[in-house]
Amino acid sequence: SRAPPDNGVIPRCQLGDSSGIRKALQGAGVVIIKSVASPSELAHAEGLFFQWLESLPLGIRRDDPRSLQSSAWRTLGYSNTGVISNYSVGQSAFMWYLRLLPRVRSAWASAWGLLPHLP
């Protein structure tokens, strides 16, 4: 089972802090990079996320608060971390949308010492 970093704190870095991002990934295996998506990009991603969720055979509905608290959430992945790993989440439209955001691509390019190839 996966678990958060030992101290429960996920490291946070600024966009462009290449060495900090690399250090966090090497030490904790995870990092939060601030400001890689605008409010409108986040709203669009949230819509795509719920489209994906509602397409699953779990009965989760954005407009039904009871379904958002159902046990169906536990079938999505790791309930101790909130990491979703099932139902082909990695190939969902919302994941690809997020991966291809210019600042997300730039953050990864910066972390690995590459030049970003942005559209």
How many domains does the chain divide into? Answer: 1
**For residue 54, is it within any domain?**
yes
**For residue 118, is it within any domain?**
no
13 three-state secondary structure: strand
83 membership: H or E segment, kind and range? strand 83-84
34 three-state secondary structure: strand
**For residue 42, is it within any domain?**
yes
Nearest alpha-carbon partner for 46 in 58, 56, 54: 54
Q: Which domain holds residue 97?
A: 12-111
Residue 110 carries which DSSP code? H
pTM metric for this prediction: 0.79
**For residue 85, is it within any domain?**
yes
Q: What is the pLDDT along the chain (119 residues), one digit of tens a residue?
A: 455 556 678 899 998 888 899 999 888 888 999 999 999 999 999 999 999 999 999 998 999 988 877 688 788 888 777 788 899 999 999 999 999 999 999 888 888 877 655 44
| Angle made by CA atoms 62, 79, 13, in degrees to the nearest 5 | 90
**For residue 116, is it within any domain?**
no
**For residue 5, is it within any domain?**
no
Other CB atoms within 10 A of residue 118 CB: 9
